[in-house]
Amino acid sequence: MCGTDQKLIWNGGGKLVEKDFYSELSNIVSTEQIKKDELLARHTTFRIGGPADYFVTVTNAQEAAEVLKLCSDRKVPYFVIGNGSNLLVSDKGYRGVIIKFTEKLCSVWIEEQPGYLAARAGAGAALAQFAREVARQKGAGFEFAAGIPGSVGGAVYMNAGAYGGEIKDSLTRVRVMDRSGNIMEKEAAELELSYRSSRLSAKGWYVLEAEFQFEMGKADEILQKIEELSRRRSLKQPLEYPSAGSTFKRPEGSFAGKLIMEAGLAGLRVGGAQISTKHCGFIVNTGRASACDVMRLMHQVQKAVREKFEIDLEPEIRLLGEI
């Protein structure tokens, strides 16, 4: 809850000797890959979030597997992030280990096959850059992804989408890792991808790599469509402010932004957090917004929409830490 103190003890209530844990971490990755008390505001598009006890970057699947296993064995809380584009982090930060995929886990491979374009991307790859490279290689149907500021892994995890397109439309297979560090290949159908949802969370699977297939088109036409969608985004979305994208999921039969606007909430502010006047589906950080500001504003929005329309808005952004 906002405003309360937070102190969590690692190791299931027992005592974990910090220097021993750090030593074990540094046996897996270099000390340059480990940061203590790293501000998570530096790693989220909301630009909000306190320090993580440990912030560890991993460069390959083996490192990721060993770090996950160490955290699981020591009962140390951990969380895997991509670009931090759909995340609201507590002002008090995160008591545990944040794991970020980098370098080799950002690699991209694209090759034309008879009748289609095959593509593969590491979980840490920027989705927007990947989508533009697919377009340059004449892959069609992925234009919507060129404006989503997340990672490939995060996009698969939540089945990201926009302008009528979703990740599930072209995803064919994924390489995942479970909480014990075991690596598996899964067909896209096994993920049960639906609107902003998948079974990855319930199964405790983390995406390492994703494979896609696209229809072939004309690169100039595809890139032109991307630019048109980009123009529409800049006109309709508050890209000039830090945010976590759409704050609430689309309720059945309507749109969250439309309901919020019709409830008269455009421009409503709590501290540095504000309902965008450009697109009411976004809560933006107008400067020095705290996680508590955002949460209080979200609660006010949910209450107002429920009272006026009898509709419960469900958060689309993920919450991390005690907020």
Structure confidence by residue, pLDDT tens digits, 92-150: 999 999 999 876 678 899 999 999 999 999 999 999 999 999 999 999 999 999 999 88
Q: Confidence class of residue 9 from pLDDT cuts 50, 70 and 90?
A: very low
Q: Is residue 233 one of the residues assigned to a domain?
A: no
* Containing structural domain, residue 211: 107-223
What integer pLDDT is reported at residue 14 of this predicted model?
38
The answer to whether residue 222 scores a pLDDT higher than 60 is: yes
Residues 243 and 311 in one domain: yes
CB 149 within 8 A of CB 230: no
Residues 208 and 300 in one domain: no
Look at the chain and report how many structural domains it folds into: 3
The catalytically annotated residue of 143, 211, 316, 322 is 316
Residue closest to 61 by CA, chosen among 210, 211, 208: 208
What integer pLDDT is reported at residue 50 of this predicted model?
97
Residues 216 and 277 in one domain: no
Residues 63 and 28 in one domain: yes
Percent of the chain with pLDDT over 90: 82
Q: Which two tokens stand for residue 45?
A: 């598009």
Domain boundary among 159, 191, 223: 223
Q: Tens of pLDDT along 27-60?
A: 999 999 999 999 999 999 999 999 999 999 998 8
Q: Tens of pLDDT along 71-97?
A: 988 899 999 998 898 999 999 999 999
Q: Is 246 a catalytic residue?
A: yes
What integer pLDDT is reported at residue 15 of this predicted model?
41
Residues 209 and 114 in one domain: yes
2 or 164: which leads in pLDDT: 164
Helix/strand/coil for 243: strand
Residue closest to 75 by CA, chosen among 92, 61, 94, 96: 96
Average predicted confidence (pLDDT) for the chain? 91
Q: Is 24 a catalytic residue?
A: no
pTM: 0.86
Greatest CA separation for the chain: 60
Q: Is residue 231 one of the residues assigned to a domain?
A: no
What integer pLDDT is reported at residue 211 of this predicted model?
98
Residue type, 27: N
The catalytically annotated residue of 179, 196, 233, 269 is 196
Residues 174 and 261 in one domain: no
Q: Is residue 11 one of the residues assigned to a domain?
A: no
Q: Is 196 a catalytic residue?
A: yes
Percent of the chain with pLDDT over 70: 93
CATH number at residue 78: 3.30.43.10
The catalytically annotated residue of 90, 246, 276, 290 is 246
